[in-house]
Chains A and B, each alone.
Chain A
Amino acid sequence: MHRKTKKVGTASPGRRVLLGQQIISGLASGSLYALTAVAVVVVFRNTRTINLAQGDFAMVGAFLAMVLIKDMHLNYYLALAAVVVACILLGILTERIVMRPIADSDWLTLFTATLGVYYILHGVAGWVWGRDTKAFPVTFDPTPINFAGTIVSQGHLINMGWAIAIGLVLYVFFKYTKQGIAMRAVTDDPDTAQLMGIPVRFIVLLTWGMAGFLAAFAGVLLSPIVYVSPEMMDQVLIKGYVAAVFGGLYSIQGAIIGALMIGVAENLAGGYLGAHYKTATAFAMIVLLLTFRPQGLFGIQKRREI
């Protein structure tokens, strides 16, 4: 990377290489934002809950991974597996303890409850692990490699690979498994799903478990990039939420495309306008989106009033 940046602005091939690099690293961050965006969508469309704690599920997962890898010297993949289990449990516990008792409330009550979970998890993490930012052990080879004519970090490729694999797992789950189809049926019409004998509460529990599953990967994969701290996911959550709005808080594909767009746009803005424009870009995108297409970029109608 350093070798290449010297060339910037001199020769036009260098410019093109830089653009390619920025798009690829944008797609890499975007694919990690997508993990949060998809979780926001699946929880919202099955429970009308805008889950502010989604980022903190990931943050707790990141701290756990750090403890397991750094302090307990556990193998990376074993640590990841343990974190996946822990985050699924965290999602399920949030549903059972916090959300289920108030499941029939209006959206503002549900939203506020997740704000409570957000502060509790921030507080607990700060108390247990400290408020300072910690470096996460880098587990991949940091030398950039040549990928399709552009120089990219291996970490970016690995992250994209994980995101694609998780996307495939979700696709198969929603399309080919009984519980996955039932989850879509509950999204479509919870009352009728219940009438068909689908245990809607169990499906909602599964939905929160899925949010935890996605959070585990978001936390572990983002840790080397954003470092580990109680606030590590705050900005990512906002970007994930913006991406979810791109899909009308309903479409998983829409949320993924939105997340990739945000990743690329903020990287280009960061590269050409300056680093401090990065986050502002995500906000500019949501303002534009909500002004011109409040139903989401992909025209999905929200059929349930919130």
Chain B
Amino acid sequence: MTLLRLANVEANYGAVRALRGISISVAEGAIVCLLGANGAGKSTTLKAISGVVRPSAGTIEFDGKLLNGMSPTHIVGLGVAQVPEGRKIFKDLTVIENLQMGAYVRKDARGIAADLDFVFHLFPRLKERTRQLGGTLSGGEQQMLAIGRGLMAKPRLLLLDEPSLGLAPILIADIFNALRQINKEHGTTLLIVEQNAHVALKNANFGYVLQVGQVAVEGSAEELRRRKEVVESYLGSSEQTPARAAS
């Protein structure tokens, strides 16, 4: 079953046309990755899904409901949470307060406590640091906290924007192991934006490659792994991209 479907979504920042008709769909229970060079529109796609950027055209449907025009609060309440690019931990809030803010839209105290246990089971390092300020955590711990905060919303769909950004390879492996565990144990559907195509395609079922606001390539992760050169031709710096894509 398709959980999320974007059809011909366009979005602008003033005169900048960031999305130029994106169509993607994400099946329930899947891990889907969204690849693309800097500025391709990956973050904008996730922001449009979360309702913080308003699409100027096209439709975004989640679980059969149209998300266009809905408030971010409403969208999180429906079960779509985001782990933003650069982690965006609340620096002056403690670890536990950051996690509580992830659950802001919820009222089921018992469910919140259970999910807190799951987050601590997934990332025991956070449990040792509940009273520490978010801003004092290491990069890897902040990424764990950002993912934990996203999980506290009890999402059916978790959007992750470059979870590997700035992390050492060993930590990247840890993070992706945790993501697979979330997917398997909670059945949470994942839409992961990545620049690290290798890691993303190793962990995902399906992938899309964006280029200047449009989908350039799509396919199963297996297929994209086979067509590695084609995928990579779209991922270089934006100046290189056209020349290499043409070859």
Contact = CB atoms under 8 A, between A and B. Distances in A.
Interface stretch (B55-63, B74-82, B191-199): B74-82
Nearest to A197: B76
B179 to A, nearest CB: 19
Given A184-B93, A185-B93, A195-B50, 7 more contacts: A185-B97, A187-B92, A188-B93, A189-B90, A192-B88, A196-B104, A197-B153
A112 interface: no
Interface string A170-197: 0000000010011011011101111111
Contacts of A193: 90, 101
A192 B73 contact: no
Given A178-B100, A182-B101, A191-B52, A196 B92 contact: no
A198 to B, nearest CB: 5
Nearest to B75: A197
Interface of B: 50, 52, 71-73, 75-77, 81-82, 84, 88, 90-93, 97, 100-102, 104-105, 149, 153
Interface in A251-305: none
A199 interface: yes
Contacts of B72: 194-195, 197
Contacts of B75: 197
Contacts of B82: 195
Contacts of B153: 196-197
A196 B102 contact: yes
A164 B38 CA distance: 52
A197 B52 contact: no
A197 B149 CA distance: 12
Contacts of A191: 52, 88
Interface of A: 178, 181-182, 184-185, 187-189, 191-199
Contacts of A178: 100, 104
Contacts of A187: 92
B90 A198 contact: no
A184 B102 CA distance: 14
Contacts, number: 60
Given A199-B71, A199-B73, A185 B52 contact: no
Contact of B97 (A181, A189, A194): A181
Nearest to B88: A192
Given A178-B104, A188-B91, A197 B77 contact: yes
A202 to B, nearest CB: 9
A198 B104 contact: yes
A184 B235 CA distance: 38
Contacts of B105: 197
Report the 9 A-B pairs with minimum CB-CB distance, sorted nearest first: A197-B76, A192-B88, A197-B105, A188-B90, A197-B73, A199-B73, A185-B90, A185-B101, A198-B104
B73 A195 contact: no
A178 B96 CA distance: 12
A192 B77 contact: no
Given A194-B52, A196-B153, A184 B73 contact: no
Nearest to B46: A195
B146 to A, nearest CB: 10
Contact of B76 (A181, A188, A192, A196): A196
A197 B76 CA distance: 6
Given A178-B104, A181-B101, A182-B101, A195 B52 contact: yes
13 contacts: A178-B100, A181-B101, A184-B90, A185-B90, A188-B91, A188-B92, A192-B84, A192-B88, A195-B88, A196-B76, A197-B76, A197-B105, A199-B73
Nearest to B87: A192
A193 B52 CA distance: 11
A150 B97 CA distance: 44
Contact of B93 (A181, A194, A195): A181
Given A192-B84, A196-B104, A196-B149, A184 B92 contact: yes
A149 B72 CA distance: 59
A182 B104 CA distance: 8
Nearest to A194: B72
Contacts of B149: 196
A60 B111 CA distance: 46
Contacts of A185: 90, 93, 97, 101
Nearest to B94: A181
A199 B73 CA distance: 6
B92 A198 contact: no
Given A195-B82, A197-B72, A198-B73, A181 B102 contact: no
Contacts of B97: 181, 184-185
A164 B231 CA distance: 63
A181 B100 contact: yes
